[in-house]
Each structure stands twice: as C-alpha cells, then as structure tokens.
Structure 1
Amino acid sequence: MYIALTIPLPFLAKFVSASIPPSFLWLGIVIGFVGLYGIMTERVIADEAKIEVTYTNWIRAFLRRDWSLYWSEITQLKSRTTGQGGIVYYFITSQGKAYLLPMRIAGFARLVNLVQAKTGIDTSNVYPLAQPWMYMILLGLTFVLLLVDAWTITNALTLSNGMQGF
C-alpha cells in the first residue's frame, strides 16, 4: 500500500513542474520505506514467564524501545478507545505503568488465551483491532490503486515527453 500511495508522486511532480524536485520526493519515499520496514520488524515473544516486544537494533536506537513484562507483574488489562473508534488494550503493571497489548499480530487469539492463562485476567471480550477480512479488502483496493498508478504514471510520462517539443 505504501508503494501504491507514494510512487506516482515524483512522476506527477515532474509533470506539473512542482516546486519540490522529484529527486527530493524519491529520497523521502526511500526514507519512509526504510522507516516503515523498521517499524514492521516488531517481534512479540510470549513464553511461560513473560511477554516481550522487540525491534531490530537500528529501530531501538532511533524510534522505539523494547519492553518485557513478567506475567506476575500484570495486574489488569485496560481498554481505551482510539481516535478512529476502535478499542486498544493496555497491560497495567503493579507499578501503574501501561504497555500496549500488541494487536496486529498473527496468532492474536493464542496470545489472548495465553494472557488469560498466565495472568488470570478475563480476556473473553478482547478482540483484534482489525479483522482479517478488513486486510483482504485493503489488499484488493491496493491492487486497484496500483492499476490506477500504472495508468497515471504512463500518462504523465507520455504527456511529459510529448510536451518537450514545445
């Protein structure tokens, strides 16, 4: 989806003679892709003793910190409404600190069952932020957007080349 949303921008900038050079847009796209890739390297490790969220070394240095909690430290699971109307959950520790329950992971139901088994907290009303069918719709729409992108880029290149003779 990131590629579908950003790749046409440098071509369109060149076509409309935007004040921002296409090379800056390409640079921004590459930096954004690297950052997105880094954030997507998040790993959730849940075992008999604890739950842990880790990232690659370079993400830890710049953007996110790892965290881990022993199951015995978790006293409750609090829900919060997001700005878009969804619900996210936070682990609350005995020290009152809050840690976001990872929700966009494969095996979310297994994680929630493990949380309930290890902490004794009722998780029967905990659901993922987005259902798998929502991601399938986004994937389908992304393919449609890529087709529109191909058409847009082709037209921008064709028209730009045709205008060079003027």
Structure 2
Amino acid sequence: MSAVYPMAPLIRFTLISLYLALVLPLPWLAPPALQPLLWGALPVGLVLILALVSEQVELSASGIRVGHPRWCAWLLRRGWQLNWDQIRALTPITTSQGGRVFYVRDAGGSAYLLPQRVQAFEAFLGQFGQTTGLDTSAIGRISPAWTYQLLAALCGVMLAGELAVGLWQLNS
C-alpha cells in the first residue's frame, strides 16, 4: 500500500489564479522606480505560491506523511509524519466559519491537522480509515467545491479584465 494525494487541482488552480489576478497588475500600476523590483518579485512570489500548493499526503505501509516535495521542502518545513500504530483518534473542531476540521491524535496526545483539500479525497479517507480502524464517515471536505469554483470564476473575470485593459492601453 503506497499512495500519494496532492492538493486537489481545483483548489490549486484557484489559489494560483487568485495570486495572479491580484499581483499581475501591480508592476504596471507602480511608480516607474518600483516597477523593476515588482517585476522581479512577481516570479519569486509565483514560485512561493507553487510551493505552498504542492503540499501532498503520502500513505505507505508504515504510516502517513503530510508535507511538500523535495524541491520545496527545504523552504517549507511544515508537515508531519506518524506511523499507523501511533494514531489513536480523530477529533473534530468547528472553525470560526462554521466548517469542521479534524485532528489526528497520537498516543502522546499531540494533534495533527488531517488534510481535507486533497485530490481523490474519498479514496484517501477510505484508505486512512481502513488502515487506522477509525470511523471517517463524518469527515467531509473543509469547504464545498462551489466556493472554489466561484472564486476561480471571479479570478478568471479579473484576469480577463486586466488583459483587456492592458490590450486597450497598448492600442491607445
């Protein structure tokens, strides 16, 4: 048993699009003295966003690992890893927005946030529940897909508007 679950493509695309929609116009809007700095910062920020959305969950015969791939793990040192025999419980916590997140509890009482934004979420939960023996039937995605679909559409509209204004300015 070995499986890797990256972040869901809709969520990844939406977060990258949001970054681009908010940051792409800045070099054009900035005073001329700041424009070179912003043009240089734009790809650096994009690489950072790509690193953040590259988080993945790895399930193996020995346990679960949540973290980032090697190319960015040195930069983003967050993550966690547990052997299957260390996992004791799942604890639900209500968020301030009314959603629910779940924490994986280990034998020592430490808590680790269970990823709820992964691709093939149902398969991930099935494999996690089967291996740990914990009931995962009450666990769902942290937010419904329509919220990311709406945000992705709004980002698309913003990017299209920015492109249209840029083309209009070039032709003027």
Count of equivalent residues? 155
TM-superposed CA distance for 1:81, in Å, is 3.1
- Deviation, 1:158, is 6.3
Decide which moves more: 98-107 or 38-47: 38-47
Give the Å deviation of 1:102. 1.2
Q: Which residue of 2 aligns with 1:96?
A: 109
Task: Note if contact 1:10-1:25 (Cα within 8 Å) is conserved in structure 2.
Answer: yes
CA contact (8 A) 1:11 1:157 kept: no
Provide the C-alpha distance between the structure 2 equivalents of 1:55 and 1:139, rounded to a whole number of angstroms. 24
Partner of 1:6: 23
| Alpha-carbon spacing, 1:48–1:56, altered in 2? closer, same or farther (3 Å) | closer
Shift of 1:47: 3.2
**Separation (CA, whole Å) in 1 of partners of 2:164 and 2:54:** 32
Identity rate, percent: 34
For the 8 Å contact 1:60–1:66, the answer to whether it is kept is no
TM-score, length of structure 1 as denominator length: 0.79
Tell me what 1:147 maps to. 160
- 1:131 paired with 2:144, answer yes
> Structure 1 CA distance, aligned partners of 2:121 and 2:41?
33
Is 1:74 the counterpart of 2:91? The answer is no
Unaligned ranges ≥5, structure 2 = 1-16
Query: Structure 1 residues 144, 109: closer, same or farther in 2, change over 3 A?
Result: same
What is residue 49 of structure 2 aligned with on the other side?
A: 36
Instruction: Give the Cα separation in 2 of the matches to 1:131 and 1:52.
Output: 25
Judged with a 3 Å threshold, the aligned counterparts in structure 2 of structure 1 residues 102 and 21 are, in CA distance, closer, same or farther, namely: same
Alpha-carbon offset, residue 112 of structure 1: 1.5
Which residue, out of 98, 109, 131, partners 1:85?
98
Residues 1:56 and 1:140: Cα distance change in structure 2 (over 3 Å): same
Per chain length, whose mean CA-contact separation is higher, i.e. which structure has more relative contact order (CA < 8 Å, sep 6+)? Answer: 2
Instruction: Find out whether 1:105 has 2:111 as its counterpart.
Output: no
Shifted more, 55-64 versus 28-37: the winner is 55-64
Does residue 27 of structure 1 match 2:44?
no
Note the alpha carbon deviations across 1:8-53, whole angstroms, 9 max, x for none. Answer: 111111xxx37x6112222222221111111222221113431122
Look up the match of 1:162: none
Residue 66 of structure 1 deviates from its aligned partner by 4.4
For 1:141, the aligned partner's letter is: L
Structure 1: give runs of 5+ residues left out of the alignment.
Answer: 160-166
Q: What is the TM-score normalised by the length of structure 2? A: 0.77
Question: 2: CA distance between counterparts of 1:84 and 1:27?
Answer: 36
Helix, strand or coil at the partner of 2:74: helix
Whose radius of gyration is greater, 1 or 2? 1
